[in-house]
Amino acid sequence: MDANSKDGHTAQPFAEWIQRYGNVYRIELPLLGARTVVTVEPHHIKAILATKFESFNKGTTFQDQMHSLLGQGVFNSDGDMWKFHRGITRPFFTKERISDFDIYDRNAERSLQIARTRIEEGHAIDFQDLVSRFTLDSATEFLFGQNVDSLSAGIAYPPSVSHKNSSFFTEHSSNRFTEAFRDAQRHADRRMPYGTAWPLVEFWEDKVVPLRKTIDEFIEPLMKEALRRREERITQGIKEADEDHSNVLSHLVNQTQDPSILKDELVNLLVAGRDTTASLLTFCVYVLTRHPEIETKLREEILTKVGPRQRPTYEMMREMRYVRAFLNEVLRLYPPVPNDIRNTGDSGVVLPGKNGTETPLYIAPNTNCIYSVLIMQRREDLWGPDALTFDPNRFLDERLHKYLTPNPFIFCPFNAGPRICLGQQFAYHEATFYLVRLLQQFRNFRLSPETRSPPAWWKNVKGLQSQEQIMPIAHLTMAVRDGLWIHMEEFKHEDS
């Protein structure tokens, strides 16, 4: 698997083993202390995430592997600590809060102006980097009440003209954070195949620890400012009940002042607020480089429902059915979290058989259960013979009822059940808003030669998209290896 993480397709080993052993199989690695079941069956995933939710947890092995990166944050906790984190964040994802689009608008316009300037210079842009900065600034402003202003650094020049990158850009704190965040996720992910024996691979040094230190240097000012404001409110005699908890962090520091818990939660929230939506938008634009006819249909709906210059409202978004279908289809083929894992803990679990007709599956105690949403959502028996074809209309025509409605838990881009992502609608709104602004201002999206192409052998990987022109990778979330370098042109309303 480690070799696969360097040049392989995301979920490639799972796809190949599924072709050999079926949609459910077991891996036994006694020397590594690992017992694992892999499944891409929707009724199993439904049980893991919803109907038998209480019987599964993150598992001590996963938590140990991820602790130096995620600590005790929401993505690496169970029980009371998980409930604590969920309780803190839940009030901030109401319809009223996530429908306030001022934050999106400010940061989207800044990012698109940066793109416009670079295009006028005649260079390709790394769209993945651009939207990662947009989502980082939007997330920190929405969640923490402080915009870290990563867009002020600008974006990198293509590798072929990297000498043009200024020292201001290369030394910017947001770049150090981004590089450390990426590398820490990569190192943590590489621990997975080694089970409980992973410390032997990093015998001399935990490779994530120095990277997490760099990440903490970036987020500590946010934490300290929130604590300072709390002390100021106390000095002024403002009671907690009278405070305006306008963001998650201001509420969190009233519940705990433990720096370790605070920093862990900031890191976890940045994974959710920055990486997942950046992944979605990156793959949206990748799809547009391959399907100009879809770009045309999207823009037609946007100009009809929103107009050439207006910003979208919540009501307008609800009316843009093709835009929503497009996002759903991107999430189907390129889910931000393509694979995930749960553990059965100290008790065995019985997973139901399909439609009550197949034999139930018993899973022994302390067994890791890996499920791949990416592979499940590309299965022809679940999605039809055109499962590997990108087509938003499958969410609008008869295929919706033929394939999707009987299996409502098949499509779970942000997970489902009790662990459903609280920011799911926030992510949909943010992605829709940015997509509208992008297509109002730019057109003719094309891959640049700077984008790394996959090796020819990828065409032989069954069960995955075989004609990719990019290299999807996944650690905690899915991304494009070495960036999505594109060209695009400014769109003028008279062009329509």
The annotated binding site for heme is made up of 421
User: In which order are the strands placed within the sheet that holds 339-343?
Assistant: 24-29, 34-39, 368-372, 339-343
Q: Are the CB atoms for 366 and 35 separated by under 8 Å?
A: yes
CA distances to 45, 57, 115, 152, 489 from 120, in Å: 48, 51, 9, 18, 9
Residue written as token pair 């052998």 = 457
- End-to-end Cα separation, the chain, in angstroms: 48
Here the tokens at position 319 are 């009316």
Here the tokens at position 358 are 């197949």
CA distances to 36, 59, 68, 103, 372 from 185, in Å: 22, 18, 10, 27, 18
Binding-site annotation: residue ranges: 421
Helices 424-441, 277-290: crossing angle, 10 deg rounding: 40
The residue count of the chain comes to: 496
Could you tell me which residues come within 8 angstroms of residue 397 by beta carbon, excluding any fewer than 6 positions away? none
C-alpha to C-alpha distance for 119 and 102, rounded to whole angstroms: 26
- Rg over CA atoms, the chain: 23
Q: Which DSSP symbol is given to 56?
A: -
Scanning 236-347, the segments in alpha helix (DSSP H) are 248-255, 259-270, 277-290, 292-305, 314-319, 321-333
Side-chain-side CA neighbours of 127 within 13 Å: the count stands at: 28
Q: Are the CB atoms for 325 and 392 separated by under 8 Å?
A: yes
Here the tokens at position 175 are 């770049």
Burial 389-405 (b: 16+ CB within 10 A, else e): ebbbebbeeebeeebbe
Could you tell me which residues come within 8 angstroms of residue 389 by beta carbon, excluding any fewer than 6 positions away? none
Here the tokens at position 130 are 């651009």
Here the tokens at position 191 are 């621990």
- 3-state DSSP assignment of residue 187: helix
Q: Are the CB atoms for 41 and 23 separated by under 8 Å?
A: yes
Measured torsion, CA atoms of residues 268, 269, 275, 280, in degrees rounded to the nearest 10:
130
